[in-house]
Structure 1
């Protein structure tokens, strides 16, 4: 689940080799730093949403179509990276992204199943009214099995509810620890610090790679070999899937009139990743041929950024309603 980074495996791979490079220009250094920040953004992208789901004990705020489309994009990216014989590090990162997607998808399915089960258990049980015309002395014999069956069902439901309650109590205690630790800072302050930490990690990571001789912006990791057409097609497909993935989430937010349960930091990291990704390409070179080769990724990145901005607008519009809803739940 990496925004447009799946397509960046076909573009940024030309920025990383194992040969030590000569002195860099300012634009080349900035290009490398931007690409490194983008990579760190994608690596930690899912953590805020995974934590948000865990704290809430539910994941129904996320559109499953959104996650599924993003997962398919990462799968297409992984196959394309292997097919195109890209750097082992690129393939390893693509595998990591697929694993992260499956983790989030599994978490969502698990919490959604718990929510559905709790809703089913809370529904009333209709007991049939049975009229039996028998002598009085036979009534106890006829009714005993019915009463026993009903009590057994009621006991089973009570047991399930008790199990769910205990599970929620355990999760609530752990979630309260996370909330108590987080309450020392405002949400905006935590988001700013998180973004700054990602930028710092990306910058330091690039510096270590460069000074250790693992970075050469002028290198060609593929040795001038033409990228297979199938790998290129999969790269385009992944870009389209990432671009389309957010549409179901935007529609879901608008339909429900709420963004409650979504992590704003998740989308901030996505925006940061796409901005630095595009900047890394343009800072590397503005030659027409190079820009045209990377134009699909740049356009896809720009489109994804526009969709993220729409979601930020939804956060803003629905924030008062979501705050009121949380206040009502806490009072209850």
Structure 2
């Protein structure tokens, strides 16, 4: 036997409110794992800068669409916060990689026979002296490429170059350990195992979901009328009004959100690695999009009639509730398409995490004295 309409409506409203609160909690912390990952690695090579730039543009249009469509002030404040977090992430990319708007192409394996001599080329390789005839002379394109690479060097490298102590022959290029304990401290920390990573990520997700749930139940309930004397029927009727520019910006935002994932997917494919990406970054994005979509679908239409300056709720006639629900979905269609589309693309990123796990990117592979790359063991980073 079905529950009465009043209890059913309450259940739908509770589900929508819970999903919306969990979505907000996920989006508040979504950027933190990747920002911390970049800081810990002192690198942003794993993150596509085109992905961040397009996402930032999408958030800007999200603010414009939210303001023009007349959504809740809380959503506008969150949209501004997302934009600020995008700027922080973009600033990290510029700091570690220099001012460039394009993702670098993965470096091919070094080949001594084709490598142009430089100040880093060893005089003796494999027991044999290198001769000028064994190397090709750098072309104009190579010189231009090297010049462009130097011009895009990161702020961190430029600041480090101010220290002139490495110019002295008495100072080694790398610090030498003075004792066995120092040598052990200089070893790179071992990464977490696959099981440890799953446990850590699961715990973080559960904590965020718990915070979103607590935030919903601790927030004050909505009064029958707000400070402007508007009833729930009035508020719903206003939310169903179309704003032309709000809809335009909403669809532009959806297209940008969908397009932002493509550069990241391509970068992972070219590098054959997801090194430098934090899985929680995309996990929180997936859960945030999923709960946001559920909060939109969990909508209980109110049938009302406009009289004496207000909308008065009444019992829904045949097909009336369906018409109100359909109009509601049309108003929010751009945000639904953007969230659902990015949800599927983020799943594609997780497939890459699974395929490329244990694989190091070309720029992360250490090189021996003769310039050849040394393969990493599965437990090395």
Assess same fold via TM > 0.5: yes
The answer (yes or no) to whether the contact 1:87–1:221 under 8 Å persists in 2 is no
Count of aligned residue pairs for this structure pair: 265
Aligned CA distance change for structure 1 residues 157 and 257 (closer, same or farther; 3 Å): farther
Most deviating of 276-285 and 60-69: 276-285
Q: Any gaps of 5 or more consecutive residues in structure 2? A: 1-6, 105-117, 122-160, 176-185, 301-321, 367-375
Residue of structure 2 aligned with 1:158, choices 152, 160, 166: 166
2:303 pairs with 1:293: no
Whether 1:29 and 2:14 are equivalent positions in the alignment is yes
Indicate yes or no: 2:295 matched with 1:280.
Answer: yes
Going from structure 1 to structure 2, the CA distance change for 1:237 and 1:263 (only over 3 Å counts) comes to same
- Which of these two proteins has the greater Rg computed from alpha carbons? 2
Hey, what does 2:206 align to over in structure 1? 196
In the other structure, the counterpart of 1:129 is none
CA distance 1:207–1:312, change in 2 (3 Å): same
- In the TM superposition, what whole-angstrom CA distance separates every residue of 1:67-112 from its partner, at most 9, and x where no partner exists? 0000001111112233344433222222111111000000111011
Give 2:181's aligned residue.
none
CA shift, 1:235, in A, is 1.2
Bigger helix fraction: 1
Whether 2:299 is the aligned partner of 1:314: answer no
- C-alpha separation in 2, matches of 1:214 and 1:92: 24
**Backbone CA RMSD of aligned residues:** 4.0
Q: Quick check: 2:250–2:334 contact (8 Å CA) kept in 1?
A: no
Q: Residues 115-166 of structure 1: CA distance to partner in whole angstroms, max 9, x if unpaired?
A: x9xxxxxx6279xxxxxxxxxxxxxxxxxxxxxxxxxx99948369x9x989
Q: Does structure 1 residue 73 correspond to structure 2 residue 58?
A: yes
Aligned position for 2:142: none
Give SS of 1:25's match: helix
User: Gapped runs of 5+ residues in structure 1?
Assistant: 1-21, 117-122, 127-152, 167-175
**TM-score, scaled relative to structure 2:** 0.60
Task: After superposing the two structures, state which structure 1 stretch, 69-78 or 211-220, moved more.
Answer: 211-220
- Distance in 1 separating the partners of 2:380 and 2:341: 41
- Provide closer, same or farther for how the CA distance between residues 165 and 219 of structure 1 changes in structure 2, counting only shifts above 3 A: farther
C-alpha separation in 2, matches of 1:247 and 1:26: 38
The 2-side partners of 1:70 and 1:50 are apart by 15
**Residues in 2 aligned to 1:215 and 1:52: alpha-carbon distance in whole angstroms:** 46
Alignment partner of 1:58 is 2:43: yes
SS in 2 for 1:320: coil
Between the aligned partners of 2:36 and 2:338, the Cα distance in structure 1 is 28
Contact 1:52/1:261, CA 8 A, preserved across alignment = yes
